[in-house]
Amino acid sequence: MLQVYLKELLELTRDKKTLIFTILLPTLIMPVIMFGFITLTTHIAKKAIDEDLSYALVGGEHYPELVTTLAKNNKLRKVVVPEGAGSDEAVRIVSEMINKDEIRFAIVVPKDTLSILKEGLSAELKMLYNDSATTSEIIFGRINKSIKALKTKERQKRFSQLGLTEAQGKSINNPVRLVKTSTAGERESFGEKIGGFLPYILILIGLSGAMYPAIDIGVGEKERGTLETLLLTPISRFQLVFAKFAVIFTTSFVSVFLSLISFALMTLVFGPAIMSGFGAESSEKVGELFEALSSISLTDILLMFLMLVPVAAIFASLLLSVSIYARTYKEAQNYMSPIMMITIFPLILPLLPGVKLDWVWASVPVTNVSLAIKEIFKGTIDMQILLVIFGSTTIIAGVLLAICNWWFQREQVLFRN
Amino acid sequence: MLEVKNLKKRFRLDNKTLRENKKKLVGHRDEREQGHWFNAVQDVSFSCEAGEVLGLLGPNGAGKTTSLRMLSTALQPTSGKIVINGEDVVATPLAMRKQIGFLSGTTSLYHRLTVRENVSYFGKLHGMSDSALKLAIDDVFELLDIHSFADKKADALSTGMKQRANIARTVIHQPEVIVLDEPTTGLDVISAKTILEFIRSYKGSNVPVIFSTHHLHEVEKLCDRVVLINQGVTQFNGSLEAFRQLDDSHNLYDIFVKLVDDKGGA
């Protein structure tokens, strides 16, 4: 049996497709794509924060203080709108300029702005920008920030007219405030937010890492004509099944293990650099995040891996059964898509609001493992439920392996061609 | 010695075949189909003594490959007996596999492994020690002229080289019976000659060799015995000389066609 296992592994390591799907994809390609995407997004966002913005002002004469405030901002470049244009015509022109990318935004000041402010009411300045641009929210934030001093000055003026201090003035809108105070620690809170994605990614990587080897050593061997020869060796069918199962299980688990290591390394190496690009505030948040993550112990990580063991065994048994049933490589590949879809559904459930690990969800295969990993990540796992999930998932894996073995004994399956 | 007695094998027809059969006219259906079943092998018996080469003949679909697969333990007979040196193959297939060397018509090598790795792998699966395996590899590679490409990966080999490597893999564990299903099909003259010479080397040894073929000149050159299977039944079982005497022409081709036509095969 060991001979079969070692030979299958040797053959797989000599296969470029296996190396790509089992090792390169989870360890290098996926993280590189992910971090590449994050880096690109960061770069675009950083550019939107730092770039000089050209803008137009329509009706600036109705609010001279605004003109002065915007002019003081050296990152803003005012573009002059053609003179003599009426208000509506000016708005049409600047809108066109925004859509043609000649300017990034425009502010339209109504005629009665000053009189409204004098009356102590809220004046409405209209900011025109192209909402379809990915960085539009960042630009809106920058402009809002640059006129913040103007707004503060106006507010303080009104408070002093009313004889109120700054604090009293601010309390007018919120005389009674309800302040949220979470009893959850940083880790639990963070785990609740992203803990559902971790098993989703890990289990799918485990599945994709098992798929190609399962096809190759099942129907691939059937199609190449080597299976019949193997069946004629003095090794029992169960030993053959178990050796093949072990190979698929190994590749599945290696994929998960390598991807986890790779993601961890990439996060440690590139994570702080990327987040610092967003400024000091983000760097501080990254610090808090790392502090939260550092409370995940080695035991927690081992528990997560332990939960993935029976899941990888389920995939290995299922995929080997399907692969050995198929007549051709193509037929096996056709069966893989529904398996992928069926697996994704129970993995999505833990991401839904309100789905928490209890005895009901603990009875749903795959979802229970996903929820258990999330709870381990949060540091709130109930060990009793964990043991039950591990036990029940192991039993399912065992039953599937027994079915696979029965499948492998049948002439109708082995010689279906 | 190998003995095959009243071998039968039937397969359950799948729904697609059953649907297609319903559309066929009664006279166009294979006589071996009965309801949901197909009697691929209905009654096959023959024997082969140690040192004899037995040629298994028959038209396509006659039941040759199914019979050989039962002989090799790949398929379990529905009924009948296969005995090698007094031991029942059907009763203890796992133990008997060490005594059988089988090359099927569709067999192949692991194309990512070298010839040496392929042959070693099967030797080890048959429980051979490293030292015994090394000696056996040297011998069989010499006999089949494999040394020049022994360390090449199987996917880089020509068809003839692959088939020689396949035969090396078949006999590496020194089986007591060798079964070859159409070993020279699709090979060039030189490769076919090497393989036929290899089969000939077993003549007079302790090992019976059964090989199926469509090339009657190979039968004429090599075989001591001839078995003709048609419609899943043994139609002829005897010496090559007795087969020749079935027709005044003594021409194997004519005899084969006459026998198959009389029975309504092919």
pLDDT confidence of residue B208: 92
In tens, the pLDDT along A99-125 reads 888 888 899 998 888 899 888 888 899
In tens, the pLDDT along A261-287 reads 777 777 666 666 656 655 555 556 656
Flag whether residue A46 sits within 8 Å of chain B, measured between CB atoms.
Answer: no
Q: Do A225 and B108 touch (CB under 8 A)?
A: yes
How many C-beta atoms lie closer than 10 Å to residue B130's C-beta? 10
Long-range CB contacts for residues A151-160, cutoff 8 Å, separation at least 24: A154/A117, A158/A120
Neighboring chain A residues of B73 at a CB cutoff of 8 Å: 232
Query: Could you tell me the two tokens for B221?
Result: 């050159």
Q: Which of B74, B98, B108 sits opposite A224 (nearest CB)?
A: B108
Q: Which residue of A has its CA nearest to B73?
A: A232
Q: Is A17 in the same domain as A69?
A: no
Count structural domains, chain B: 1
Who contacts A358 (Cβ-Cβ below 8 Å, separation ≥6)?
Answer: A385
Neighboring chain B residues of A212 at a CB cutoff of 8 Å: none
The DSSP code for B231 is T
pLDDT confidence of residue A17: 78
Average pLDDT over residues A215-221: 88
* Coil vs helix vs strand at B49: coil
Neighboring chain A residues of B169 at a CB cutoff of 8 Å: 229
Average pLDDT over residues A335-358: 83
- H or E element: which one contains A35? helix A30-50
Residues of B with CB under 8 A from a CB of A: 11-12, 69, 72-76, 94-95, 97-98, 100, 102, 104, 106-113, 117, 121-122, 124-127, 169
Q: Is A144 in the same domain as A221?
A: no
Flag whether residue A229 sits within 8 Å of chain B, measured between CB atoms.
Answer: yes
Average pLDDT over residues A206-222: 88
pLDDT confidence of residue A3: 83
Flag whether residue A237 sits within 8 Å of chain B, measured between CB atoms.
Answer: no
Percent of chain B with pLDDT over 70: 95
Q: Is A264 in the same domain as A402?
A: yes
- Contact (CB, 8 A) for A26 and A32: no
pLDDT confidence of residue A174: 81
Flag whether residue A233 sits within 8 Å of chain B, measured between CB atoms.
Answer: yes
**pTM, to two decimals:** 0.76
Q: Do A234 and B72 touch (CB under 8 A)?
A: no
pLDDT confidence of residue B144: 87
pLDDT category at A292 given cuts 50, 70, 90 is low
pLDDT at position A254 over 80: yes
- H or E element: which one contains A97? helix A87-99
Report yes or no on A47 lying in a domain. no
In tens, the pLDDT along B185-218 reads 877 888 888 888 888 888 888 899 998 988 888 8
Q: Do A411 and B76 touch (CB under 8 A)?
A: yes
Neighboring chain A residues of B125 at a CB cutoff of 8 Å: 3-4, 230, 233-235
Going across the sheet that includes A76-78, the strands are A76-78, A53-58, A105-108, A126-129
Instruction: Provide Rg for chain B, Cα atoms.
Output: 19
pLDDT category at A402 given cuts 50, 70, 90 is very high
Report yes or no on A153 lying in a domain. yes
Torsion A141-A143-A144-A146 (CA) sign:
positive
Q: Which residue of B has its CA nearest to A1?
A: B125
Q: Which of B74, B111, B127 sits opposite A234 (nearest CB)?
A: B127
Domain limits for position A337: 2-29+186-414
Neighboring chain A residues of B126 at a CB cutoff of 8 Å: 233-234
Q: Do B106 and A226 touch (CB under 8 A)?
A: no
Instruction: Tell me the C-alpha distance between A387 and A368, whole Å.
Output: 11
Neighboring chain B residues of A415 at a CB cutoff of 8 Å: 74-75
pLDDT confidence of residue B266: 46
Instruction: Tell me the C-alpha distance between B18 and A52, whole Å.
Output: 77
Q: Do B104 and A225 touch (CB under 8 A)?
A: yes
Asked which of A170, A194, A216 is the last residue of a domain, the reply is: A170
pLDDT at position A409 over 80: yes
Percent of chain A with pLDDT over 90: 6
pLDDT at position B174 over 80: yes
Q: Is A263 in the same domain as A296?
A: yes
Q: Do A228 and B74 touch (CB under 8 A)?
A: yes
User: Residue type for A98, please?
Assistant: I
In 3D space, the residue among B97, A82, B186, A38 whose CA is nearest the CA of residue A91 turns out to be A82
Neighboring chain A residues of B97 at a CB cutoff of 8 Å: 232-234
Instruction: Tell me the C-alpha distance between B140 and B143, whole Å.
Output: 5
User: Residue type for B53, please?
Assistant: V
Place of tokens 């040394």: B147
Asked which of A170, A201, A229 is the last residue of a domain, the reply is: A170
* Residues within 8 A of B (CB atoms), A 1-20 only: 3-4, 7, 10-11, 14-15
**Numbers of helices and strands, H then E, in chain B:** 10, 11
> In this structure, what CATH number is given to the domain that contains residue B31?
3.40.50.300
Query: Could you tell me the two tokens for B57?
Result: 């003949």
Q: Which of B73, B106, B111 sits opposite A232 (nearest CB)?
A: B73
Q: Is A219 in the same domain as A82?
A: no
Instruction: Tell me the C-alpha distance between A355 and B74, whole Å.
Output: 51
Q: Which of A226, A231, A235 sits opposite B110 (nearest CB)?
A: A226
Q: Is A79 in the same domain as A116?
A: yes
Average pLDDT over residues B83-99: 87
Q: Is A68 in the same domain as A14?
A: no
pLDDT confidence of residue B136: 93
pLDDT confidence of residue A175: 84
What is the value of ipTM here, to two decimals? 0.82
Instruction: Tell me the C-alpha distance between A176 and B160, whole Å.
Output: 91
Q: Is A137 in the same domain as A212?
A: no
- Contact (CB, 8 A) for B68 and B38: no
DSSP codes joined into one string, B157-187? S-HHHHHHHHHHHHHTT--SEEEEESTTTT-
Q: Which of A11, A229, A236 sits opposite B112 (nearest CB)?
A: A11
Q: Is A270 in the same domain as A401?
A: yes
Point out which residues pair with B236 in neighbouring strands. Answer: B228
Report yes or no on A45 lying in a domain. no
Provide the shortest C-alpha distance from residue B83 to chain A (in Å): 17
Domain limits for position B63: 2-263
Cβ-count burial A58-69 (b if 16+ within 10 Å, e if not) = bbbebbeebbeb
Q: Is A210 in the same domain as A348?
A: yes
- Contact (CB, 8 A) for A80 and A106: no
Provide the shortest C-alpha distance from residue B94 to chain A (in Å): 5
pLDDT category at A178 given cuts 50, 70, 90 is confident
Q: Is A165 in the same domain as A192?
A: no
- Interface size A-B, in CB pairs within 8 Å, comes to 64
Report yes or no on A72 lying in a domain. yes
Count structural domains, chain A: 2
User: Residue type for B224, please?
Assistant: D
Average pLDDT over residues A186-206: 78
Average pLDDT over residues A326-340: 87
Q: Is A339 in the same domain as A404?
A: yes
Asked which of A170, A204, A220 is the last residue of a domain, the reply is: A170
pLDDT confidence of residue A399: 93
Q: Do A225 and B94 touch (CB under 8 A)?
A: no
Phi first, then psi: give them for residue A118, nearest 5 degrees. Answer: -60, -35
Report yes or no on A42 lying in a domain. no
pLDDT at position B93 over 60: yes
pLDDT category at B153 given cuts 50, 70, 90 is very high
Query: Could you tell me the two tokens for A206?
Result: 């485990």
Instruction: Tell me the C-alpha distance between A138 and A145, whole Å.
Output: 11
User: Residue type for A159, please?
Assistant: F
pLDDT category at A135 given cuts 50, 70, 90 is confident
